[in-house]
Amino acid sequence: MREIVGHTAGKIFLLVLLVSVVAMFLVPQYFYEPRLVFGWVPLPFAAGIAFLCVWLVAYLIYFFFYWPFRR
Amino acid sequence: MTILALIVFGLIVLWMSVYGYVISSKTSEDYMLAGRGIGILVMFFFMLFSISSAWTFYGYPGYLYTHGPGYVFFIWGCVAGFAGLYMFLGPRVWAVARLNRFLSPVEMMSQRYESKALRVILAVLLLAFIVPYVGIQPLGVGLGFEALTGMSRMFGIAYTVVLLLLVVFLGGMRTTAWVNVFLGLVYAATFLGSLVWIVAKVFPGGLSEAAQVVAQNRPDLLSAPGPEGYFSHVTIAGLLIVGMLAFSWPHVVIGTMTARDKLIFKWLPLLAIVAAGFLFYTIPFIWGAIVAPAISLLPDTLVPPMSGKEADNVVQVIITQYLPRWFSTFVLMGVIAASISTAAVQLMTSGILVSRDLIHGFFRPDATDRQLILWTKGAIVALLLLTFGIAAWNPARLADYLTSVSVPGFAQWAPCLLGAVLWRRGTRQGAIAGVLGGTLVLVAGYIIAPGNAALLGKLIIGSLVLNGLLYVVVSLVTPPPSAEVQSRFFDEVDDFLSVEV
């Protein structure tokens, strides 16, 4: 973490993760109707999959192009 | 047939334990931390199946089955918490433990904060909250055993306790890690296999057909707040926070200390997000939120709606009713695998806390390596007996053990754990004030709010906020840690981690 906040790419990475977490705090307001995505996926599950997609993309870009421990 | 299968399964575990004992180097570092030599593949299975337990097979689907899908936010929080551990905290915990030959994360904390009192407080705290969690593992097997055979759950509980004893007593952490690979494969195969088979057999139209059955008959099971009004917006957000605190589960933190090198921390987040988040934890969700309720709502169902603690059994009961008996036995072995893979790591962690942090840290600082191993084994036996008692008592639903008891308890060391490796200014006084303040609020919550989930949830979140605030504020108004500590825990770690892999 100390290494990650030490450069711009790391700060952007952390910002993306933070925004995704804030979004997860906001989305439950839409869970009060029984909506099914693709005919079988309940909305709380779909929201989590979207959340993990954001984390995955951010992780892949940051850890494989800007990993702070490699010099 | 069931008994024979359980004997064969037990013999395989016994063989692995004995083999692990034979090849071990009989040092405390080898017994407790697998010689700090766990590679990426074993580490993945080791960690994934140390957190995927009987709770995943029974408690989690059972809760979704009765309260709807809002509970899944705990899982999303957990996946983020584990990924975050390996991304942010793991490399530094691993490095500082390796550089200073720490055998326990609590030992690391006591050195970082230069406090023996904190060592006792943390060891007792973590032990108090890990034991109920260990207790649900044999209980899960007992429930499955009961559902499958109709015999008393005590047989299943006793069988699990004996296997656990073999794994941790003979093999230590390395065998626990290796056994987790075998157990994890059995677990994943049975869990996924049973789901695919059930859907193919009962719902020819696939998951869409099952979801439509639920949507048409019980739409409240597909939305918040769920049939009993458990999952308000605040509760769901709170579950996400509690899940994210998974980075502080002691048996997961100690796993980072067993890593062979820092490259493991580059790859583990990928496995945590993809293999655990997208794939593995989807299985119990589909089971509990869609397939199990849909089966119970069918007009000619063999498994009428279940409620309360009975619902913890719903997956096993459905499998027993709808699939051949031999497959039900296979599934029970999957549950046993899940239970043992988790409880073994937790028992190893607990044993280390007792021997390294309580006995060696206080009463016998001059103990030999051999004595340390013996005390760890003795502590494990004592903890197993305690676990057996909790499993036999079975005072609450499986899901409640985890989200309302163990995880909030583990989280009480989260602020000072983060500060130990990420914040130079964190002090002994701040750490002690935070842990004691937060824990007092949590314990008060258990006393004044039993059965009141909403109030307990607020007190759990309140305890964490208070803990973090006390840690930061008290740290800022007390003298900073010594220069020696700052050098050992920050400067040397920075240098060590910046070396080319």
Q: What is the pLDDT of residues A1-58, one digit of tens each?
A: 667 887 888 999 999 999 999 999 999 999 998 889 998 999 999 999 999 999 999 9
Q: Is the pLDDT of residue B399 over 70?
A: no
With cut-offs at 50, 70 and 90, classify the pLDDT of residue B400.
Answer: low
With cut-offs at 50, 70 and 90, classify the pLDDT of residue B482.
Answer: very high
Give chain B positions within 8 Å (CB) of A36. 211, 215, 222
Taking only residues 16 to 45 of chain B, the set having a beta carbon closer than 8 angstroms to any beta carbon of chain A reads none
Cα–Cα dist B387/B379, whole Å: 12
Those residues with Cβ within 8 angstroms of residue B168's Cβ, 6 or more apart along the chain or in another chain: B176, B344, B347, B348, B351, B377, B380
- The whole-model pTM stands at 0.87
With cut-offs at 50, 70 and 90, classify the pLDDT of residue B349.
Answer: confident
Percentage of chain A with pLDDT > 70? 94
Cα–Cα dist A28/A38, whole Å: 19
Strand partners, B259: B38
- What is the SS3 assignment for B324? coil
Q: Is the pLDDT of residue B132 over 80?
A: no
Asked if A33 reaches chain B (Cβ–Cβ under 8 Å), the answer is yes
Percentage of chain B with pLDDT > 90? 37
With cut-offs at 50, 70 and 90, classify the pLDDT of residue B388.
Answer: confident
Give chain A positions within 8 Å (CB) of B207. 40
- State the ipTM, two decimals: 0.94
Asked if residue B28 lies in contact with residue B373, where contact means CB atoms within 8 angstroms, the answer is yes
Asked if residue B243 lies in contact with residue B73, where contact means CB atoms within 8 angstroms, the answer is yes
Q: Is the pLDDT of residue B154 over 90?
A: no
In chain A, the N- to C-terminal Cα span, in Å, equals: 16
Q: How far is CA B75 from CA B188, B231, B322, B461, in A?
A: 17, 14, 28, 17
- Min Cα distance A62 → chain B (Å) is 10
Asked if A18 reaches chain B (Cβ–Cβ under 8 Å), the answer is no
- Tokens representing residue B364 in the block: 């016998």
Instruction: Read off the pLDDT of residues B243-287 as tens digits, 9 standing for 90 and up.
Output: 898 899 988 898 899 998 888 898 999 989 998 899 889 999 999
The residue that leads in pLDDT, B388 or B348, is B348
Instruction: Read off the pLDDT of residues B207-250 as tens digits, 9 standing for 90 and up.
Output: 999 999 999 999 999 988 888 888 888 889 988 998 898 899 98
Who among B75, B210, B237 is closest to A28 (CB)?
B237
Q: Which residue has the tokens 């989930």?
A: B453
Who among A1, A28, A59 is closest to B224 (CB)?
A28
Instruction: Read off the pLDDT of residues B421-458 as tens digits, 9 standing for 90 and up.
Output: 999 999 999 999 999 999 999 888 888 877 676 777 77
Q: Determine the residue among A11, A33, A51, A52 to mutate to test chain B binding: the one whose Cβ has the most chain B Cβ atoms within 10 Å.
A: A52
pLDDT of residue B84: 92
Cα–Cα dist B360/B120, whole Å: 11
Segment B322-336 shows an average pLDDT of 84
Q: Is the pLDDT of residue B381 over 60?
A: yes
Cα–Cα dist B303/B202, whole Å: 12
Torsions phi, psi for B498 (to 5 deg): -85, 0
Question: Strands, DSSP E only, in B13-166?
Answer: none
Question: CB A32 to CB B224 under 8 A?
Answer: yes
Who among B69, B88, B494 is closest to A4 (CB)?
B88
pLDDT of residue B500: 60
pLDDT of residue B82: 92
Strand partners, A37: A41
Asked if B497 reaches chain A (Cβ–Cβ under 8 Å), the answer is yes
Give chain A positions within 8 Å (CB) of B490. 2
Q: Is the pLDDT of residue B94 over 90?
A: yes
Question: CB B501 to CB A70 under 8 A?
Answer: yes
Range from B17-26, B146-155, B348-357, B425-434 that averages highest in pLDDT: B425-434
* Interchain CB contacts (distance < 8 Å): A and B: 121
Q: Is the pLDDT of residue B89 over 80?
A: yes
What mean pLDDT, rounded, does chain B reach?
86
Q: Is the pLDDT of residue B90 over 80?
A: yes
Question: CB B236 to CB A60 under 8 A?
Answer: no
Q: Which residue has the tokens 């494969």?
A: B185
CA neighbor of B51 nearest in space, from B12, B83, B93, B9:
B83
pLDDT of residue B398: 58
Find the closest chain B residue to A28 by CA distance: B233
Find the closest chain A residue to B229 by CA distance: A32
Asked if residue B244 lies in contact with residue B84, where contact means CB atoms within 8 angstroms, the answer is yes
Who among A39, A67, A71 is closest to B266 (CB)?
A67
